Amino acid sequence: MSEIIISGGKRLEGAVHVHGAKNSVLPILAATILSGSVSVIHNCPRLSDVDATVAILEHLGCRVSREGQTVTVDSSTLDRCDIPDHLMREMRSSVIFLGAVLARTGEARLCAPGGCELGPRPIDLHLAALRRLGADIREKGGDLRCRTKGLRGTEISLTIPSVGATENAMLAACGAKGETVIYNAAREPEIVDLQQFLNACGARVRGAGSSAVVVEGGIPLHMAEYTVMADRICAATYLSAAAIAGGEIEVEGVPRSQLVLITDLFSAAGCRIRAEERRIWLESDGRLRSVPPVRTAPYPGFPTDAQPPVMAALTKARGTTVFVETMFENRYRHTQELVRMGADIRVEGRVAVVCGAEKLHGANLEAADLRGGAALVVAALGAEGESRISGLHHIDRGYADLTERLAALGGAIYRN
């Protein structure tokens, strides 16, 4: 069984360029279906979730090739509208194909998606949005059968600003006749990235980054070439690693505006922060202090995906930090493993109280989900002794070459 092996206590020094955003590239790859042409996607990281997305595209009949960090999709050969169970269960984001396939073919058949077990994440909002656009959706035994005689523009009001439901509605609306307005839309930068790709294909989408996204549907799309944004959660993970391990690193590629809550937190914790437009420097002596309560929230609030690695960095901070997780009820699964390393964490429902420990020690650990796995890597870098982390299939979903990048910064880390 593959493991990551880390000998903690090594300072991190140097620069790391952040790869393309997992949460952006997946909907963009699904969106390539809409054009019925060739799409060239740059800055596409080598992640298992990307591999699963490519497998779905190929099953649908698309021709896909990769050269380095560039993936080329020819969707002119698409000839299917079904996605089998084993492909859907690879990742939660596979549900994003629902809107794209329905808009392209007028029919879609798939099952409930898989992904990290972070608690209930119903796709009711996705289905309600597509029904508003004119889809007939029937559910039976976990299978979804969707048909339409023609999608039509409408107004969609999301009860919560769901990222996936916003993206699905945007993709389906591109194939609808007339204008669609999505109210209470998610505002994440990944939504803006999807809008920019769709517009590069000839679509007319505006408003992404605000609470109302407008799509003028029914416009023929064409070939496009696009570069995916950098992954802000990966950037937060590298900053967390340097904060607990000590050292000075430069994180390149992510706009500082997307990380301001993270950098402000580490500044409050005692790190020295300097930032330019797409470069952030963090310097830490490894002796952190506690910070005011951290409450996760939809963008522009504190990102739930960054909570685990940031919590790991603060396990040795002097004082007490309170985390309030508002997004996913099972987001604290990593805390049990951190406690095994000597962390003092008490969880009550959606609240976690972290009392700074004098030191952490190495342990045999198992990642239970993607960001929780990253938290274990961060903690191990700041611990004394050797840690062995298993469950790497979770980490591989969202981090490309994580061990190599951290080793290049001076971490004593490798994968066997």
Residues marked as catalytic? 116
Residue 163 in tokens: 């990222």
Q: Which helix (H) or strand (E) holds 4?
A: strand 4-7
> How far is residue 389 from each of residues 47, 74, 378, 407, 416, measured CA to CA in Å?
18, 38, 11, 16, 11
Look at residues 374, 378, 388, 397 and name the one whose alpha carbon lies nearest to residue 4. Answer: 388
Residue 197 phi/psi, 5-degree rounding, is -65, -45
Look at residues 161, 205, 162 and name the one whose alpha carbon lies nearest to residue 34. Answer: 205
Residues 379, 357: contact at Cβ < 8 Å? no
Contacts of 101 (CB under 8 A, 6+ apart): 33, 60, 81, 83, 107, 108
The maximal CA–CA distance of the chain, rounded, in angstroms, is: 64
Burial track 186-207 (b if 16+ CB lie within 10 A, e otherwise): bbbbbbbbbbbbbbbbbbebeb
Look at residues 211, 178, 174, 208 and name the one whose alpha carbon lies nearest to residue 194. Answer: 208
Look at residues 148, 99, 95 and name the one whose alpha carbon lies nearest to residue 122. Answer: 95
Q: Give the whole-angstrom CA distance, residue 213 versus residue 217.
A: 12
Residues 370, 394: contact at Cβ < 8 Å? yes
Q: Give the whole-angstrom CA distance, residue 289 versus residue 68.
A: 41
Contacts of 11 (CB under 8 A, 6+ apart): 245, 246, 247, 286, 410
Here the contacts of 199-205 (C-beta below 8 Å, separation 24 or greater) are 200/224, 200/225, 200/226, 201/31, 201/34, 201/35, 201/39, 202/35, 203/34, 203/174, 205/170, 205/174
Which residue spans within 196-333 are E strands per DSSP? 204-206, 212-217, 224-227, 247-252, 272-276, 279-284, 294-295, 320-324
